[in-house]
A and B are shown apart, each in its own frame.
Chain A
Amino acid sequence: MESQANKLAFNDGWQYAPAPESTDHIRIDEKYDLFIGGEFVAPEEGRYFETINPANEKTLSSVALANEADIDRAVKAARKAYNGPWSKMKASERGKYIFRIARMLQERAREFATIETLDGGKPIRESRDIDIPLAAAHFFYYAGWADKLAYAFPGRDTRSLGVAAQIIPWNFPLLMASWKIAPALACGNTVVLKPAETTPLTAMKLAELIQDAGLPPGVVNIVTGAGATGATMVNHPDVDKIAFTGSTSVGRIIRKSLAGTNKKYTLELGGKAANVIFEDAAIDQAVEGIINGIFFNQGHVCCAGSRLLVQESVADEVIDKLRERMETLIIGDPMDKNTDIGAINSAEQLETIQSYLKIGQDEGAEMYQSSCDVPGSGYWCRPTIFTGVSQSNRIVQEEIFGPVLAIQTFRTLEEGLTKANNTPYGLSGGVWTDKGAKIFKMTQSMRAGVIWANTFNKFDPTSPFGGYKESGVGREGGLHGLDAYVKVEV
């Protein structure tokens, strides 16, 4: 790639002074117990594990490690609440509780955003402007459905399922909790939810909020732990529904273990989305879309646009502009309101990303990273792009889950389409062109659950989300998201 003539300089002159979000308005307890039956109870074995701030590696709190007995207790509490008040309650009353959660989440948005950023490493701008407002929006949206299910499934009766075991990932902790809890409650189910090991704090704060909201005890139970805890939940015989968001490898294990059972399930798994840029696209906005597609939330996004397919006549221009834009991204303290890219979520994930950077280079791809400084402690990865890659490269085939973009070119629409679909995944995709007909042609043929046209990474509670192929089973969000939590009677 030729280097750019007349380079612009962004890194000296006027700088933005630090603008950190304060922490004096939040409370994080030294340790958190399990939230079961409406109360915080100590784990049976008395074991706890630490959760740290990935931006400075300091311990924030300890959370309980739930074992089999704890999970059993949580499922029993959920069953009791299901049999007791919840499934018999008038749907409009159920809706009121969910509305209340939504409102309280809005009222305490700043607190939740701050804790989300401390615990997960994502920039405060994103937790403030995206994660928390969207989480509240999901509760609002599904609260509205609670007493209108007859309209969602016209002419047919629906029944709730029972107890839902829900396991969520660390990339959007509170948002994923809301994606799971809101539709489950709206349809009359009760819930046992497990947040990810590295990001349990906003879920525990949500437990406090749910307690404050006066939800009947046991309707929502939140348990913390690691992979084994999740496995126990999945295998518990009295669970009627499994909702999992996470890696494809764990999704496979879950699906195997569900064989022969009557449990309903939705799995939202990995992705390797293609962002396809045509020569007639609005190039500047497409570049911005590439940036949002891969660097949003440090690339810890299952639907991230991690493969860039750019039409060859504009490839040099797009890559030049992309590099230039990368230079203006601010990487550092996630609590700073001006930070664009925060910390990698965990040491383990950083190691995974770094191993892929090595794989990419070993495979002969050309790596480019932005020139920014990164803080000394904590886990960081500079925004990275690889050029000179092909379909057979591992960095093109495998999900990295970090701020790493693999760039390829294509000549014809057919070639772009073939490359876009040549992946075991199918969660999302992007098309950039000024031509409406091309948008339809592409979106009808791309095999992915969500396809964005001239934008990327847009989420709304009314829109279904889910994958083709190894990206998962079932849909969350929108009308489709209700289907996952009801039995539809003939």
Chain B
Amino acid sequence: MSVIALPIASALPDLKRITPVDEVGVNERVARFQTRSIKKESKIEALKTVLSMIDLTTLEGQDTPGKVRQLCQKAIHLHDSLPDLPHVAAVCVYPTMVGIARAALGDRGINVASVATAFPSGMSSRKIKLEETRTAVEEGADEIDMVISRGAFLQGDYHFVFDEIAAVKEACGDAHLKVILETGELGTLDHVRRASVLAMHAGADFIKTSTGKIQPAATMPVTFVMLKAIKDFYQETGRMVGMKPAGGISAAKLAVHYLVMLRETLGNAWMTPEWFRFGASSLANDVLMQLQKQATGVYQSADYFSKD
């Protein structure tokens, strides 16, 4: 049913033919991931992997250059008293902060991600969305996190959404495109799957759950449906697409459950920052706290971890 033999980013597939999603079954499967018991060395490895997959994010109207620089410092030096920590994958900011982040991060292998396309609502003209995308890339963004036009999608105007994603992808140039579905506004898991397929066919390098401005943001069931869509897309086209749950993941334990889900759904090839990201602002500190606990046997006060 879900076999859609189309070349990549060529045309809108027949979204009506997409295999349905059963919410009860999805919730059951997700609950199983959460019963996995991750202990000892596998826990430490998982926590470090989580750190390396974080898009350290600040997306507030009150963001300042100082705050962004502080976040970049954190991205590079997560917690220097713990040895052998990876750095995070990227710092995610608004377009006006891209240049500051770029300068602060330098050439350390940490990407600058910028939201664009009238984030978070997407309520603007295509011309402005494309212009904003180009500006962010010119300022030095390696990755663009765009939002889809949920209104058009829910109206059933899939061509509009498809063309918009394809146009933004083109405007990105070499920058990677993450497509935010804003699943909290899509209503059903069938819509989530449909939007995922649409975005991947339109050229998304990553699909992402949420802006973080709408509740619910990322959930495991939603992420699971998107991972399944990525799997099927890969098996049809041979092209890997990345996944980014964002918003609402602030506990290390939950992040490890996401990794379990990733491992058992897409396998090892996706278990890297190249293919999986957590969009989060407070997750890093909880992971660090857990790592500290693994190293010393005791929990430290939150005051020992920098809040940025």
Encode contact with A along B31-56: 1 for CB under 8 Å, 0 otherwise: 00001111111110110010000000
Taking a contact as CB atoms under 8 Å apart, the answer to whether B28 and A8 are in contact is no
Interchain nearest-CB distance for B207 vs A (Å): 17
CA distance A15 to B45 in the complex (A): 9
Taking a contact as CB atoms under 8 Å apart, the answer to whether A455 and B46 are in contact is no
Taking a contact as CB atoms under 8 Å apart, the answer to whether A337 and B269 are in contact is no
Taking a contact as CB atoms under 8 Å apart, the answer to whether B19 and A284 are in contact is yes
CA distance A286 to B28 in the complex (A): 12
* Nearest A residue to B28, CB-CB: A288
Which residues in A have their C-beta under 8 angstroms from that of B45?
14
Encode contact with B along A265-294: 1 for CB under 8 Å, 0 otherwise: 000000000000001111111101100000
Q: Does A355 contact B (CB under 8 A)?
A: no
Which residues in A have their C-beta under 8 angstroms from that of B264?
10, 328
Taking a contact as CB atoms under 8 Å apart, the answer to whether A338 and B266 are in contact is no
Which residues in A have their C-beta under 8 angstroms from that of B235?
4-6
Taking a contact as CB atoms under 8 Å apart, the answer to whether A15 and B22 are in contact is no
CB pairs A–B below 8 angstroms (25 shown): A4-B235, A5-B235, A8-B234, A13-B271, A14-B42, A14-B45, A15-B42, A17-B39, A17-B40, A17-B43, A18-B39, A129-B35, A279-B1, A283-B1, A283-B2, A284-B19, A284-B228, A285-B21, A288-B29, A289-B25, A313-B1, A317-B1, A337-B35, A338-B37, A454-B22
Q: Does A9 contact B (CB under 8 A)?
A: yes
Taking a contact as CB atoms under 8 Å apart, the answer to whether B271 and A454 are in contact is no
Interchain nearest-CB distance for A340 vs B (Å): 9
Q: Does B263 contact A (CB under 8 A)?
A: yes
Q: Give the one of B28, B37, B238, B269 with max A CB within 10 A.
A: B37
Which residues in B have their C-beta under 8 angstroms from that of A100?
none
Which residues in B have their C-beta under 8 angstroms from that of A279?
1
Which residues in B have their C-beta under 8 angstroms from that of A12?
268
- The answer, among B1, B26, B37, for a CB contact under 8 Å with A285, is B26
Q: Does A488 contact B (CB under 8 A)?
A: no
Taking a contact as CB atoms under 8 Å apart, the answer to whether A5 and B36 are in contact is no
- The answer, among A8, A17, A434, for a CB contact under 8 Å with B269, is A8
Which residues in B have their C-beta under 8 angstroms from that of A289?
25
Give 8 A-B pairs besides A282-B21, A454-B22 with Cβ atoms closer than 8 angstroms. Answer: A8-B269, A13-B263, A14-B42, A14-B271, A16-B37, A284-B25, A285-B21, A337-B35
- By DSSP majority rule, is chain B's interface helix, strand, loop, or mixed? helix
CA distance A416 to B238 in the complex (A): 34
- The answer, among A10, A16, A288, A314, for a CB contact under 8 Å with B36, is A16
CA distance A328 to B264 in the complex (A): 6
Q: Does A19 contact B (CB under 8 A)?
A: yes
Encode contact with B along A331-366: 1 for CB under 8 Å, 0 otherwise: 000000110000000000000000000000000000
CA distance A328 to B3 in the complex (A): 23
Which residues of A approach B to under 8 Å, CB–CB? Answer: 4-6, 8-10, 12-19, 125, 129, 279-286, 288-289, 313-314, 317, 328, 337-338, 434, 454-455
Q: Does B82 contact A (CB under 8 A)?
A: no
Which residues in B have their C-beta under 8 angstroms from that of A13?
263, 268, 271
The count of chain B contact residues (Cβ–Cβ below 8 Å) is 37
Which residues in B have their C-beta under 8 angstroms from that of A282?
19-22, 25
Taking a contact as CB atoms under 8 Å apart, the answer to whether B25 and A285 are in contact is yes
* Nearest A residue to B238, CB-CB: A6
Taking a contact as CB atoms under 8 Å apart, the answer to whether B46 and A14 are in contact is yes
- CB neighbors of A among B242-266 (8 A): 259, 263-264, 266
Taking a contact as CB atoms under 8 Å apart, the answer to whether B20 and A434 are in contact is yes
Which residues of B approach A to under 8 Å, CB–CB? Answer: 1-3, 19-22, 24-26, 28-29, 35-43, 45-46, 49, 228, 231, 234-235, 238, 259, 263-264, 266-269, 271
Taking a contact as CB atoms under 8 Å apart, the answer to whether A17 and B36 are in contact is no
* Nearest A residue to B225, CB-CB: A284
Which residues in B have their C-beta under 8 angstroms from that of A129?
35
Q: Give the one of A282, A288, A289, A454 with max B CB within 10 A.
A: A282
Interchain nearest-CB distance for B298 vs A (Å): 21
Interchain nearest-CB distance for B3 vs A (Å): 7
Interchain nearest-CB distance for B95 vs A (Å): 35
CA distance A63 to B42 in the complex (A): 40
* Nearest A residue to B41, CB-CB: A17
CA distance A328 to B36 in the complex (A): 13
* Nearest A residue to B228, CB-CB: A284
* Nearest A residue to B35, CB-CB: A125
Which residues in B have their C-beta under 8 angstroms from that of A8?
231, 234, 266-267, 269
- The answer, among B21, B24, B259, for a CB contact under 8 Å with A455, is B24
* Nearest B residue to A318, CB-CB: B1
- The answer, among A9, A18, A337, for a CB contact under 8 Å with B267, is A9
Interchain nearest-CB distance for B39 vs A (Å): 5
- The answer, among B21, B26, B49, B231, for a CB contact under 8 Å with A14, is B49
CA distance A93 to B252 in the complex (A): 49
- The answer, among B25, B37, B234, B271, for a CB contact under 8 Å with A337, is B37
Taking a contact as CB atoms under 8 Å apart, the answer to whether A17 and B42 are in contact is yes
Interchain nearest-CB distance for B43 vs A (Å): 7
Interchain nearest-CB distance for A335 vs B (Å): 12
Taking a contact as CB atoms under 8 Å apart, the answer to whether B268 and A10 are in contact is yes
CA distance A129 to B34 in the complex (A): 13
Taking a contact as CB atoms under 8 Å apart, the answer to whether B20 and A280 are in contact is yes
Which residues in B have their C-beta under 8 angstroms from that of A6?
234-235, 238
Which residues in A have their C-beta under 8 angstroms from that of B29?
285, 288
